[in-house]
Structures are given as C-alpha cells and as structure tokens.
Amino acid sequence: MAGALRASSDAGIGPDAAQAYFDISQILGFNAAGVGLSALIAATALATLRGSGILPHRLAIPTLVLAVTLLIPTVVRFTLPLAILLLPLYSIRLYRLSDQG
C-alpha cells in the first residue's frame, strides 16, 4: 500500500523502490497469513477439545498440529492450502450449531 501511495505523489517512485515495496509485501503478507490462520485454527481446535462441538473430536489434535505447522516458515507453503480449505468447514459447522441453539 505504501508503494501505491508514493506512486500517486508528484515525485513518484523509481523501479528499485517499486520492486522493494512489492517484495516486502509478498514476503510479509504470506507469513502473516500463516500466523493469522494458525491462531484461528488453534483456537477452534482447543474449543473443540473443551466440548464446543465445532469440529468432530477426532479432528482436534490433527488440527492443532496443522496450527503449529503454519508457524514454521519453511512448511507454511505446503500447509496453508489445507488451512484455507478448513475455513468453509468451520463456517458450515458454526452455522449448523447456531441453528441448534
């Protein structure tokens, strides 16, 4: 976003600065996605272990393992797609739980 704001100014930005802004956003954005999803997945797994029923109990421990792998930068590129696929499952389960209560 900083690159876009600087580019719209009168002076603009040079090619080196544009490349630096792009690289920084790609590197930090990807790793931050893993950390954010890890927090969501770990919280859901722990709530499941406490008996909330968000997930089946047999998925709680593997989901915690997935949450830990999302914190490892060299592994996150392999586990991030699986974590993203869990989001619709969480949404459906929470929607069904809200109908019951």
Cβ atoms 60, 52 nearer than 8 A: no
* Residue 45 near residue 68, CB atoms below 8 Å: no
Residue in 95, 101, 86 with CA at minimum distance from that of residue 45: 86
Q: The pTM is what?
A: 0.70
Average pLDDT over residues 89-96: 88
Percent over 70 (pLDDT), the chain: 87
Q: Would you say 49 and 60 are in contact if contact means Cβ atoms under 8 Å apart?
A: yes
- Dihedral pair phi/psi, residue 90, rounded to 5°: -60, -45
Work out the pLDDT band at 20, boundaries 50, 70, 90. Answer: confident
Place of tokens 């709680």: 60
pLDDT at 68 over 90: yes
Collapsed DSSP state (helix, strand, coil) of residue 52? coil
